């Protein structure tokens, strides 16, 4: 039997990549030819959660929605499971022949939604409804989708530890700790994670990110406050792509149509939370991200089947981290004033040096 080793970089699903990193060995990858990444033989990769939720086995079926490995390869691309070129599709055939030999004869796609995905974009339909058709009274199918998103939200939960430092900036000179707390309701602006009148506290994990997020330009100065967490926080980490395999694994009998919509929406939401938005478009482009944030904020009130902890906020990539290599993250804390302590304030202004204007620290204070 042949051996096709695939590395953790070529499998795009986070849970599979992590599994290969733990269980794999350093060897040559048959897809990217890397010799330094951890690899595992493709037959040892468990894709059964994907198959079990997207297909059903009907031995009496006369035909199939999948005719060959080309169709299956297209499906893998849709779900962003693996990075593979057309000239390597024989590896897919090898996997199917050994793991699911009756796939083309007896496995039928459970849901017509999956076939239709090739013809229209679920995400675009959701955007059209929320932005241009219904703002408050959603369709029943949309309400069901939002409810399922709440149920799956715990997949993205992570703990931000006590004493972690975060930063908040304001353009201008501010010296009082209260100037950096959550704005009052009548001052709450229309932003990525909240609409007018619903205040949230925005912070970053990096001072340079903070300066960029404030859109600072010459000759304005900026004040940056450092905050320390008084306790651990439960945050929804939307900086990482969702694991399709993990979501399939905990589907718990969800209807395939709804599962498919969830997979599509979560995949798009990862990008939507961080994409650049221009001021003249934000009154529309922020509506979806505001809706998602509110959906997660009150998830613990809607999930009845098990005890759930309230979500304290969300994390998303900064839109200024263009190449995703600075690790710049934004934090939105729902009720941050009681769980954050301001430990110091720094003030930066512009200086002219070597025919260039640059930003320099000119004053700082500490509360410790």
* Residue-level pLDDT at 68: 54
Q: 268-295 in b/e burial notation, b at 16+ Cβ within 10 A?
A: bbbebbbeebeeeeeeebbbbbbbbbbb
What is the CB neighbour count within 10 angstroms for residue 134? 12
Residues facing 314 on adjacent strands: 236, 332
Q: What is the 3-state secondary structure (H, E, C) of 130-166?
A: HHHHCCCCCCHHHHHHHHHHHHHHHHHEEEECCCCEE
* Residue-level pLDDT at 300: 83
Question: pTM of the prediction?
Answer: 0.78
* Residue-level pLDDT at 173: 93
Please give the Cα distance from 191 to 359 (Å, whole number).
26
Please give the Cα distance from 154 to 131 (Å, whole number).
27
* Residue-level pLDDT at 124: 83
What is the CB neighbour count within 10 angstroms for residue 6? 27
190 contacts 239 by C-beta, under 8 angstroms: no
* Residue-level pLDDT at 237: 92
Residues facing 226 on adjacent strands: 167, 344
| Greatest CA separation for the chain | 79
Shortest CA distance to 46 belongs to which of 15, 22, 73, 12? 15
* Residue-level pLDDT at 304: 62
Shortest CA distance to 270 belongs to which of 313, 238, 237, 318? 238
**Which stretches of the chain score pLDDT less than 50?**
56-65, 67, 105-112, 115-116, 118-119
Shortest CA distance to 126 belongs to which of 143, 150, 109? 143
* Residue-level pLDDT at 79: 66
* Residue-level pLDDT at 161: 96
Please give the Cα distance from 267 to 244 (Å, whole number).
9
Extract the tokens encoding 108: 């039928």
* Residue-level pLDDT at 60: 43
Residues 6+ apart with CB under 8 A from 366: 343, 344
């Amino acid at each position: 039997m042949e051996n096709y080793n695939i590395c953790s970089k070529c499998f795009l699903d986070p849970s599979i990549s992590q599994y290969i990193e733990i269980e794999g060995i350093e060897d040559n990858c048959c897809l990217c030819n890397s010799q330094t990444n951890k690899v595992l033989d493709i037959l040892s990769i468990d894709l059964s959660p994907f198959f079990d939720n997207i297909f059903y086995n009907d031995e009496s079926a006369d035909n199939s929605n999948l005719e060959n490995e080309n169709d299956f390869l297209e499906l893998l691309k849709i779900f962003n499971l693996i990075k593979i070129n057309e000239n390597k599709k024989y590896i897919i055939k090898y996997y199917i022949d050994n793991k699911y030999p009756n796939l083309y004869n007896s496995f039928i796609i459970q849901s017509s939604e999956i076939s239709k995905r090739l013809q229209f974009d679920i995400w675009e339909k959701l955007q059209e409804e929320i932005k241009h058709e219904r703002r408050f009274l959603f369709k029943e199918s949309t309400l069901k989708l939002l409810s399922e998103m709440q149920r799956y939200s715990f997949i993205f939960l992570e703990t931000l530890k006590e004493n972690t430092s975060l930063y908040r900036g304001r353009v201008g000179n501010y010296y009082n700790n209260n100037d950096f707390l959550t704005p009052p309701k009548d001052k709450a602006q229309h932003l990525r994670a909240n609409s007018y009148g619903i205040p949230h506290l925005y912070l970053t994990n990096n001072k340079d990110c903070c300066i960029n997020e404030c859109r600072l330009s010459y000759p304005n100065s900026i004040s940056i406050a450092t905050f320390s967490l008084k306790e651990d926080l439960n945050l929804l980490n939307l900086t990482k792509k969702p694991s399709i395999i993990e979501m399939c694994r905990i589907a718990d009998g969800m209807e395939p149509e709804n599962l498919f919509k969830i997979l599509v929406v979560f995949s798009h939401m990862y990008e939507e939370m961080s994409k650049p938005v221009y001021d003249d478009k934000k009154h529309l482009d922020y509506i979806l991200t505001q809706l998602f944030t509110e959906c997660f904020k009150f998830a613990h009130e809607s999930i009845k089947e098990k005890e759930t902890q309230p979500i304290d906020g969300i994390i998303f990539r900064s839109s200024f981290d263009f190449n995703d290599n600075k690790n710049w993250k934004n934090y939105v804390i729902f009720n941050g004033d009681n769980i954050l302590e301001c430990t110091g304030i720094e003030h930066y202004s512009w200086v002219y040096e070597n025919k260039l204007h640059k930003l320099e620290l000119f004053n700082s204070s500490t509360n410790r």
